[in-house]
């Protein structure tokens, strides 16, 4: 039996790979740290090492050096995962039998093609078009699925949802599943059933705490026709779904979507996306035990933009990141930020929606036209939930409600910045 050693902090990705490998009778060893990985490498002499280079770059190189120095492990092939590697770092990897470097987000079809080549074992991967993303806002789990239903991405989603519930310590899970750019039919029924079962099992949410946001009549008809899903409400309005879940309205009590103020949202219409590979998995990983200390290597030299007219907010975010050597640039309004956005690159931005002069929505429109794609975390006051829903419709996946706490900033940053798959 072949053996694979996985050195990665991501619970989601590790468990997904374990599942896929065990389907193919491959034994898996897991290491959370490089010290543990070095020990297991020597003891089991695996047929392949899959290693997250961002766990600790210096430590990763040390492990590779020890692998090369050991006659038993020198020829073990390695696959590297990394958020970013420059040309110099790639050259450093050449002597260590590194078969391929995958930048995150990992293209899973290409990843498993390489695994098949290295291990000489075929892997069955669902290559149907699909984009899947999971985020938490206001303790609601938002699951957005576009283009189609992919069974491998649903498997990944199972672990992602569980991780987010742990990270945010959600006691009563509430879920909104947004099916964007989707027109389904009878042939999709098994995948719809798998999606619903995955959501229920992964979130442990009661069916009446789940909303399916879609304008597809078949989805509505399918769910209404299945007794086990009869308490899941199918809606076509995002504001209604959010307000309904946050206010604790039970859909069985006679309340209906028609009683909610409709805002004509367009969240379900086809979106213009630049993805060229159908298998790009855009999930981020995080664990309850994540801490600033564990993220130190990742935060170092991270470029963060803060666009907010509130000096206190600027300083709070700056303090959160600068203690780990991140580079934080503050802008008092949208105009200051837009003046440099074409010349300066950022990894993450915090954007206040309500600012004088050029406000947050004006900034978002400009970023869309200039194809700026780094993640944006929107900031807004607690009484402006409709504003945040509008931000979601403009492509913002995560937001924070003021007043902010350092812990909230950290958790949201973990959700956004940690490894994308």
Residue 385 near residue 242, CB atoms below 8 Å: yes
Q: Which structure tokens are listed for 205?
A: 């949410």
Q: Model pTM greater than 0.85?
A: no
The whole-number pLDDT of residue 86 equals 75
Q: Which homologous superfamily is 296-417 in?
A: Response regulator (3.40.50.2300)
Residue 274 near residue 371, CB atoms below 8 Å: yes
The whole-number pLDDT of residue 300 equals 65
Q: Give the C-alpha separation, 209 to 244, whole Å.
A: 9
Structure confidence by residue, pLDDT tens digits, 288-339: 333 344 455 556 678 899 999 999 999 999 988 887 678 899 999 999 999 9
Instruction: State the residue for tokens 């072949």.
Output: 2
Q: Give the C-alpha separation, 286 to 168, whole Å.
A: 10
Q: Where are the domains of the chain?
A: 3-119, 131-259, 296-417
Q: Which structure tokens are listed for 167?
A: 């990270």
Fold exhibited by the domain 131-259: Transcription Regulator spoIIAA (3.30.750)
CATH for 3-119 is: 3.40.50.2300
The whole-number pLDDT of residue 55 equals 61
Q: Among 137, 102, 133, which residue's Cα sits nearest to residue 17? A: 102
The whole-number pLDDT of residue 28 equals 96
Q: Give the C-alpha separation, 201 to 204, whole Å.
A: 5
The whole-number pLDDT of residue 166 equals 85
The whole-number pLDDT of residue 235 equals 93
Residues of the chain with pLDDT under 70: 55, 248-300, 324, 382-385, 417-421
The whole-number pLDDT of residue 180 equals 83
The whole-number pLDDT of residue 271 equals 42
Same CATH topology for 3-119 and 296-417? Answer: yes
Structure confidence by residue, pLDDT tens digits, 76-107: 999 999 877 778 888 889 899 999 999 877 87
The dihedral formed by the CA atoms of 182, 156, 9 and 120, expressed in degrees to the nearest 10 = -120
CA distances from 260 to 239, 249, 255, 294, 381 (A): 8, 12, 9, 44, 22
End-to-end CA distance of the chain: give it in Å, rounded: 27
């Amino acid at each position: 039996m072949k053996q694979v050693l996985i050195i990665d902090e991501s619970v989601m990705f590790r468990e997904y790979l374990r599942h896929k490998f065990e389907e193919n009778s491959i034994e898996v060893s897991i290491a959370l740290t490089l010290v543990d990985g070095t020990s297991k490498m020597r003891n089991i002499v695996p047929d392949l090492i899959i290693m997250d280079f961002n766990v600790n770059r210096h430590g990763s190189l040390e492990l590779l050096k020890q692998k090369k120095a050991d006659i038993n492990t020198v020829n073990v092939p390695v696959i590297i995962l990394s958020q970013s590697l420059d040309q110099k770092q790639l050259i450093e990897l050449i002597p260590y039998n590194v078969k391929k470097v995958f930048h995150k987000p990992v293209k899973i079809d290409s990843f498993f093609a390489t695994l098949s080549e290295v291990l000489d074992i075929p892997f069955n991967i669902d290559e149907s078009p699909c984009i899947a993303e999971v985020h938490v806002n206001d303790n609601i789990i938002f699951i957005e699925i576009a283009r189609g239903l992919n069974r491998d991405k649903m498997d990944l989603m199972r672990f992602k949802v569980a991780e987010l519930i742990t990270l945010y310590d959600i006691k009563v899970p509430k879920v909104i599943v947004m099916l964007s750019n989707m027109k389904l039919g009878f042939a999709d029924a098994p995948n719809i059933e798998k999606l619903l079962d995955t959501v229920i099992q992964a979130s442990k949410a009661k069916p009446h705490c789940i909303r399916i946001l879609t304008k597809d009549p078949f989805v509505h008809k399918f769910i209404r026709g299945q007794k086990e899903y009869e308490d899941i409400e199918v809606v076509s309005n995002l504001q209604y779904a959010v307000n309904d879940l946050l206010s604790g309205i039970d859909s069985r009590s006679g309340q209906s979507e028609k009683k909610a103020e409709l805002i004509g949202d367009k969240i379900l219409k086809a979106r213009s996306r630049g993805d060229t590979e159908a298998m790009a998995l855009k999930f981020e990983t995080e664990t309850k035990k994540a801490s600033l200390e564990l993220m130190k290597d990742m935060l170092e030299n991270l470029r963060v933009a803060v666009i907010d007219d509130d000096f206190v907010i600027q300083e709070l975010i700056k303090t959160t990141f600068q203690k780990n050597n991140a580079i934080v640039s503050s802008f008092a309004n949208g105009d200051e930020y837009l003046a440099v956005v074409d010349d300066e690159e950022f990894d993450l931005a915090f954007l206040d929606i309500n600012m004088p002069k050029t406000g947050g929505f004006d900034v978002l429109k400009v970023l869309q036209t200039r194809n700026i794609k780094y993640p944006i975390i929107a900031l807004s006051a607690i009484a402006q939930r409709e504003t945040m829903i509008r931000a979601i419709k403009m492509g913002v996946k995560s937001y924070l409600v003021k007043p902010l706490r350092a812990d909230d900033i950290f958790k949201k940053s973990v959700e956004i910045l940690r490894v994308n798959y």
